[in-house]
Amino acid sequence: MSIETAGLSVAELRASYGPVLQGLVEGLFSSDSKHQIFQLTGLQDGELERFAGSDDVFELLRKFVGDLRELIKTSYPDAVTARPQNIMVVSQQSLVMQQPTPASPAPSVIDLAPTQSTASVPASPATDSNNVVQIGSLPSVPAEPPQTQTQTDQTSEVTTASPLGEQRPVESPVARADDSATPVMSISRAAPTPTSASHPTFFLPNCNVGTEYAERIKGRDASGRELKIVDLRFPKNFGLSFDPATQMASGVPTLSGEYVLNLQWCFPGFPDVRSGECRLTSNPDPRSLWKVTEPDSSLPYRKEHLDHQLIRAGSFDIAAASRRGRSHEHGGTFRDDDFFVATTQDNGWAVLIVADGAGSAEFSREGSRIAVETAGRFLVDGLDGEFGTKLGTLVDGWDANPANADTIGEEFHYSFHRMALRAVEAIENEAGARGAPVRSFATTLLAAAIRRDGDNTFLATFWIGDGAIVTYAPSSGVKLMGTPDGGEFAGQTRFLERATLADGFAKRVSIGRHQNISSVILLTDGVSDPYFETDNGLADPSKWNALWSELSPLLIEEDPSRALAEWLHFFKQGHHDDRTIAMLW
């Protein structure tokens, strides 16, 4: 609350109130005072008196008195105090000090004592011991406000202690309201503006760097009253702005850290503006927390962190890409995924294979490479010769002779089994040469042999482990060519090994002939998990539609394989494994 003067000069104010305030300072600092709380040494004679009587001290204490009166009024709104001398008018906006009548010497302290007030004023002076407080020590604020009689006026008279020469009560006349010789202090109740807000609090939810933010700031005082925010200031280039009309903070944060925001607020419906603070936590972009660390140069089986390949085959195109995951970048390990794509020379077959080396297996990066290279070369060599030509003829007669489907299925069952066994043997040989367990080379293996003829696409697949193989068309949806393997525990899967080949091999082979499909897609779990999450999700056409909306623009790039490699760097919280994709379209 501000303190204003009613046409009084500083000298006049000091003449009336200066001695009281000066006495307060001397009482706190002087060694002669029984209330001394500060011990000063090294002062010359008269220096404390001059300091206590300075303009700076006077202004500081004058404000203190006003704030103290306001606190009493706020704490005990029903209490009425009166004093027949030096009366000040307290309104809801300011404390007005009117010209006092010169009187007896000013007291050393000022205190407020509760009394009662009536609309009428006695014609003659009266004495009331309840209107006077003994000087000497300030009484403590009562635990409960004193009871008062019902007021019949909008204004209640307030008094402070009379100037005393001795420490005992003296009689003082009660001033009439129209007596200009005695200034009047009254607390106006005509406009009950909230005058204080004990411990106001303000709240904004946390924000994240790089993420769209739109939240309403909330402010309340200790009693639960809602506060209106007039202005809220953010650091320069922070990325957020404040709209007073909606009380919303919005934008895209660019800075991270803990911030104390300065704000201006008021009670709704009242013009008084006050200052406050609000804390805001801006979380860093999770992507900025990931380190990129190179693997130890002494480790065996080095592998490039990024690989991609494009094949233009005339009637169809093939693109594949594989990228080291953020968890591997952060930990300084190699990419464990791998892929193989190729076409036959003359009879129109294509081979697409992806593999995911087990993260817990020391040499799985080499296991995945051995698996895709061995399996891929076996399939291409077989399909590029008489076997592939024979199967091509059977596929062409699919519609005319339905029995061809059974024959083709049997041929691919046998071919895929030999392919997988060759890959297992190659891994076993490498493990023996290194003197390491075979399981330290553990890997999944997903393979597809594809032949396109106009609008028809024949597809034979083999599937061990997690990931996905699908045919996709926006018009007809998605066809999942198998089921991901689950391991002994959640999050585990099956790997390419002799025991797996002996356990229900037939269910791992699928064939089909599809019309008007857009693409055949093979994924490791580094892509399938963040986009589909569960086996049920893999069968959800809407999720595939969403993925296709991201992939299809990449396929018209000059080098779709490079575009896919860049796309594989997408960020999805909690999914940071190696990622591999192979597509035919």
pLDDT at 169 over 80: no
Tell me which of 133 and 355 has the higher pLDDT: 355
User: pLDDT for 184-216, tens place per residue?
Assistant: 444 444 445 565 556 899 999 999 999 999 999
Domain ranges (residues) in the chain: 2-188, 201-289, 306-584
Q: Rg of the chain over CA atoms, in angstroms?
A: 44
For residue 156, what are its two tokens? 């209640």
What class is the 201-289 domain?
mainly beta
Give the per-residue pLDDT at 50.
Answer: 78
Of the chain, the end-to-end C-alpha distance in Å amounts to 76
Nearby residues of 410 by Cβ (< 8 Å), 6 or more positions away: none
pLDDT number for residue 35:
64
Locus of tokens 């106001």:
200
Please give the pLDDT value at position 130. 40
Choice between 5 and 35, residue whose per-residue pLDDT is larger: 35
69 pLDDT tier (thresholds 50, 70, 90): confident
**Whether residue 272 has pLDDT greater than 70:** yes
pLDDT at 78: 62
* The model's pTM: 0.61
Burial (CB < 10 A; 0-12, 13-18, 19+), residue 558, is exposed
The pLDDT value recorded for residue 288 is 85
Q: Would you state the pLDDT for residue 261? A: 98
Pairwise CA distance, residues 113 & 115, whole Å? 7
3 touches 13 (CB < 8 A)? no
What is the DSSP code string of 563-584?
Answer: HHHHHTT--BTTB-S-EEEEEE
Which pLDDT score, from 0 to 100, does residue 67 have?
A: 77
- In contact, 422 and 372? CB cutoff 8 Å: no
Per-residue confidence (pLDDT) for residue 145, from 0 to 100: 40
> What pLDDT does 232 receive?
98
For residues 443 and 22, which has the higher predicted lDDT (pLDDT)?
443
Sheet containing 337-343: which strands, arranged edge to edge? 337-343, 349-356, 445-453, 456-464, 509-515
Which two three-digit tokens encode residue 63? Answer: 């404000």
Residues 6+ apart with CB under 8 A from 125: 171, 172, 173, 174
Looking at the chain, how many residues does it have? 585
Answer yes or no: is pLDDT of 123 > 50. Answer: no
Residues 444 and 496: their CA atoms lie apart, in Å, by 6
**Residue 152 reports pLDDT greater than 60:** no
Give the pLDDT score at 108.
40
Higher pLDDT among residues 469 and 573, named by residue: 469
Question: Picking from 187-201, 296-310, 321-335, 550-564, which range would have the lowest pLDDT averaged per residue?
Answer: 187-201
424-469 pLDDT, tens digit each: 999 999 999 999 999 999 999 999 999 998 899 999 999 999 999 9
| pLDDT tens readout for residues 95-108 | 333 444 444 444 44
Confidence class for position 498, pLDDT limits 50, 70, 90: very high
Q: What pLDDT sits at residue 432?
A: 98
Q: Give the DSSP letter string of 351-407.
A: EEEEEEB-TTSTTHHHHHHHHHHHHHHHHHHHHTSHHHHHHHHHHHTTTT-TTHHHH
Q: Which CATH class is domain 306-584?
A: alpha beta
